[in-house]
Amino acid sequence: MKNMKMYVNGKWVESSNNDRIDVKNPSNGEVIATIPRGQAEDVNAAVQAAKVAFQSEEWRSVKAFERGRLLNRIAQKIMDNRDELARLETMDVGKPLAQGYADIDAAVRYFEFYAGGADKVMGDTIPIEDGLIDYVVREPVGVTAHIVPWNYPIQILSRSVAAAIATGNTVVVKSAEDTPKTATRIAEFFDELDIPDGVFNHVTGYGYEAGAALSSHPEINHVTFTGSVQTGTAVANAATKNVVPVTLELGGKSPNIVFADCNVEKAVEGVVKAIIQNAGQTCSAGSRLLVEESFKDAFLEKVVDRFKALTVGPALEDKDLGPILNEKQFNQIMKFIELAKEEGTIVTGGNQVSIENAENGCYLEPTIIDNVSTDSKIAQEEIFGPVLSVFTFKDDGDAISLANSTEYGLVTGIWTQDISRAHKLASRIDSGQIFVNNYGAGGGVQMPFGGYKKSGFGREKGWIALYNYTQVKNVAIKYD
């Protein structure tokens, strides 16, 4: 996989301009592959191939349960290549190897879950009047675009592609230029299936070129995008011009709300894991710690102790934290840390880490910032790194207000033994997912995932995501 190609219409192809992009290992900066720098012409070829495949009698004649079997075959191929895929994901993204394995296992579950749903997307009948049969069917939308981010490439590809194909659509994937390897392997798995050319396509390149061409293409029928608010807004605007629906899963500034009556050890572990996974480069990272005022010092001391015990190192060494993706991302995080020195207190961390034999990797100590104003950039903006900001609250109302004080609303953790309080907060916090006495629920393939406010709209994962890729048709038949 040193010099990869795009997969378009059942063929492995170069870009139309023959330009290539280097792919680097975040752990040491080494160039580990090159990919085609896809252009608008390449995207158009993929979209046209997907359109022809969607309209073909060959694809239309594939029964729903047969689509499920196809997806199960992909799941099996992923399982059969688990070790290889985990290493590819780990080397591409820089996450610890154990997290790479977890991502591969989640990808398997996505294909299995939507394979089981392929023949269970039901219609309905509506009673109107005697002599009139009215029914509703859900039909595939057509050609679907899947713009995949760099932080969880195989997971995010799998969750949307599996749902789209389960409901009878065709697919064009645009992987991130930094992390294309597992997407290429998935394309190879699809190439081994007996399906029409063009059902699955994979293009590579920069977001501002290939990604922009895909989101604005007039013959795309649905766009799924995961990434930043800024890019998500551009994707939505481009799709809107073509009156195309969009599913957006964007940023987060997610809080863990810790009450004095919590199970302390479980809360500490949950808070730490929520911010260090993938070195904090996670849209659902628990980047804000909200602690009951009377309990703050005792709880924060335990969190600081855990942070100081965390290990940092190259991805394949499977430490607690791997490197930051690249120098650009690292510098962005460091700007927030420098700001924290002026506007808050760095309790622990905040320094670059030098790793022997990995000097070209960007490593950062996991960092805790205290005494930050709730309206500061550190409190309001997504840092996207292993940086935890600490705040206090006095009572339930104060906790709710603080949790809702950002423009994001993706995930919230609540740590308390008071079930009434947990229900109250869950009902009043503007967040797409609420976890009580846990955070993440092991990935939760079955659980709808998406945000309030600027965290996006629409939902990924779970049964409800199948509806992203269907459109409703109503049929009324009059009889004597």
Q: What is the pLDDT of residues 49-76, one digit of tens each?
A: 999 999 999 999 999 999 999 999 999 9
Q: Tell me phi and psi for residue 20, to 5 degrees.
A: -135, 160
d(CA 56, CA 41): 22
Tell me: pLDDT of 381 over 80.
yes
Tell me: pLDDT of 480 over 90.
no
Closest to 429 (Cα-Cα) out of 403, 397, 464: 403
SS3 at position 26: coil
Cβ–Cβ < 8 Å for 277, 285: yes
What's the rounded mean pLDDT across residues 315-320?
Answer: 97
H or E, element range at 376: none
Tell me: pLDDT of 346 over 80.
yes
Sorted by sequence, the CB contacts under 8 Å of residue 415 that are 6+ apart come out as 256, 257, 258, 259, 262, 263, 266, 267, 270, 271, 436, 437
d(CA 244, CA 110): 25
Structure confidence by residue, pLDDT tens digits, 78-121: 999 999 999 999 999 999 999 999 999 999 999 999 999 999 99
| Higher-confidence position of 407 and 480 | 407
Output helix, strand, coil percentages for the chain, rounded to the nearest 5: 40, 25, 35
Question: Both tokens of residue 336?
Answer: 């927030």
Q: How confident is the model at residue 1 (pLDDT cuts 50, 70, 90)?
A: low
Q: Tell me phi and psi for residue 143, to 5 degrees.
A: -90, 120
DSSP assignments along 106-129, one per residue: HHHHHHHHHHHHTT----EEEEEE
Cβ–Cβ < 8 Å for 399, 257: yes
What pLDDT was estimated at residue 441?
72
Question: Catalytic residues, which ones?
Answer: 249
Structure confidence by residue, pLDDT tens digits, 276-288: 999 999 999 999 9
Q: Quickly tell me which residue has 């600081």 as its tokens.
A: 304
Is the sign of the CA dihedral 391, 248, 116, 182 positive or negative?
negative
- What separation in angstroms does the CA of 45 have from each of 48, 59, 171, 240, 253? 5, 19, 13, 22, 38
Pairing label, strands 367-370, 345-348: antiparallel
Structure confidence by residue, pLDDT tens digits, 5-27: 999 999 999 999 999 999 999 99
Q: What percent of the chain has pLDDT over 90?
A: 98
Tell me: pLDDT of 352 over 70.
yes
Which amino acid is present at 205?
G
- DSSP-derived letter for residue 312 is B
d(CA 296, CA 257): 11
d(CA 336, CA 378): 6
What pLDDT was estimated at residue 255?
98
H or E, element range at 178: none
Helix axis angle, 97-117 to 153-166, nearest 10°: 10
Sorted by sequence, the CB contacts under 8 Å of residue 168 that are 6+ apart come out as 59, 60, 62, 64, 67, 139, 140
Closest to 457 (Cα-Cα) out of 432, 435, 433, 439: 432
222: β partners: 144
SS3 at position 291: strand
Instruction: Tell me the CA end-to-end span of the chain in Å, nearest whole number.
Output: 65
What domains does the chain contain, in order, with CATH numbers? 6-250+458-476 (3.40.605.10), 255-444 (3.40.309.10)
Tell me: pLDDT of 206 over 80.
yes
d(CA 393, CA 429): 15
d(CA 52, CA 64): 19
Structure confidence by residue, pLDDT tens digits, 452-469: 999 999 999 999 999 999
Question: Both tokens of residue 48?
Answer: 């046209």
Task: Point out the least confidently predicted range of 195-204, 206-215, 330-339, 441-450.
Answer: 441-450
pTM exceeds 0.85: yes
Q: How confident is the model at residue 442 (pLDDT cuts 50, 70, 90)?
A: low
